[in-house]
Amino acid sequence: MTAGPTPGRTTLDGIAPDKLPRHVAIIMDGNGRWAQAQGLRRTAGHDRGAGTIRNITTECARLHLEQLTLYAFSIENWKRPRAEIQYLMRLLRKFLIDERPTLEENDVRLTAIGRLDDLPSSARKELDRTMELSAGNRGLNLCLALGYGGRTEIVDAARKLAARVAAGELAPEDIDEAAISANLYQPGRDPDLLVRTAGELRVSNFLLWQISYSELYVTQACWPDFTVEELHGALRSFATRTRKYGGLVDAPEAAVRR
């Protein structure tokens, strides 16, 4: 049996399932600031942040969301001090091993986007293993963005398309939005809701192609303090949005055409 919303039942008190986003993407920011505010080293913030991932993933699975995409490590984050990168990569490896039972319990499939070949082989090996072990799960898709850059993703898609043109398999005029979308790291539904923790008002090279019509939500809470209640706040805010995609809502057809 695959998990899915029960028709006619609400999944978050007072909010109908069709008012929930199907795909949530989160820029998990503020681990360092959280730690510094407690007088701790930045790495303590990353440790706590890993716990937040577990709680938020479990809640998204419980609410029957289809996808949760988490910005875990950007391509620009390779510029950080070596010691912090090493710490993050060891933490990633540990997380990927430790989370396996929880992913299984919640029917969550783990996937990843980014330049995964740039990851250290020890982390890459456990990533591949966890993806393989969870591949049959049919609930939430937990997608980790690792060594990820939005511009790089578009460059990589352009290269794939260019190679097909060079091979005579594709005409330049056949390159349209659908073709670019289909050649991204993980083609699929664009995020309905983009959340950023820790208050910065920027997208930091995340999912540049896919967020063109995502609803935005920024909270001051640092990622280690992003509780299930904070997530509910973001989902409630999303439920009040009117998504127009440049069109008009409830307008007579003639007015829409004009």
Q: Give the residue with the Cβ less far from ligand IPE, 77 or 237.
A: 77
Q: Name the active-site residue from 29, 183, 190, 192.
A: 29
What's the min distance (Å) between Cβ of 74 and ligand IPE?
4
| Contacting ligand IPE within 81-110 (CB under 6 A) | 88
The answer to whether 32 and 42 are in contact (CB under 8 A) is: yes
Among the listed residues 87, 199, 194, 81, the one whose alpha carbon sits nearest the alpha carbon of residue 145: 194
Task: Tell me the CB-side half-sphere exposure of residue 170, using CA atoms within 13 A.
Answer: 16
Could you tell me whether strands 23-27 and 193-196 are parallel, antiparallel, or unpaired per DSSP bridges? parallel
Nearest residue (beta carbon) to ligand IPE = 32
Question: CB within 8 A of 214, min separation 6: which ones?
Answer: 25, 190, 191, 192, 193, 194, 207
What's the min distance (Å) between Cβ of 240 and Mg ion?
28
Q: Give the residue with the Cβ less far from Mg ion, 27 or 103.
A: 27
What's the min distance (Å) between Cβ of 114 and ligand IPE?
10
Q: Give the residue with the Cβ less far from Mg ion, 74 or 183.
A: 74
Q: Is 30 in the site for ligand IPE (CB under 6 A)?
A: yes
d(CA 73, CA 77) in angstroms, rounded, equals: 6
Q: Give the residue with the Cβ less far from ligand IPE, 32 or 139.
A: 32
Active site residue 29: yes
d(CA 202, CA 187) in angstroms, rounded, equals: 24
Piece in contact with ligand IPE (CB under 6 A), picked from 2-10, 29-37, 91-99, 134-142: 29-37
Q: Is 29 in the site for Mg ion (CB under 5 A)?
A: yes
Q: Is 33 in the site for ligand IPE (CB under 6 A)?
A: yes
The answer to whether 165 and 172 are in contact (CB under 8 A) is: yes
> What one-character-per-residue DSSP string does 80-100 give?
S-HHHHHHHHHHHHHHHHHTH
What's the min distance (Å) between Cβ of 27 and Mg ion?
9
Four-residue CA torsion sign, 100, 102, 103, 107: positive
Q: Is 88 in the site for Mg ion (CB under 5 A)?
A: no
Q: Name the active-site residue from 77, 107, 156, 205.
A: 77
The answer to whether 193 and 217 are in contact (CB under 8 A) is: yes
Q: Is 73 in the site for ligand IPE (CB under 6 A)?
A: yes
The answer to whether 194 and 25 are in contact (CB under 8 A) is: yes
Q: Which residues are catalytic?
A: 29, 77
Chain residues in the site for Mg ion (CB under 5 A): 29
What residues make contact with ligand IPE under the rule CB under 6 A?
27-33, 71-74, 76-77, 88, 198, 200, 202, 204
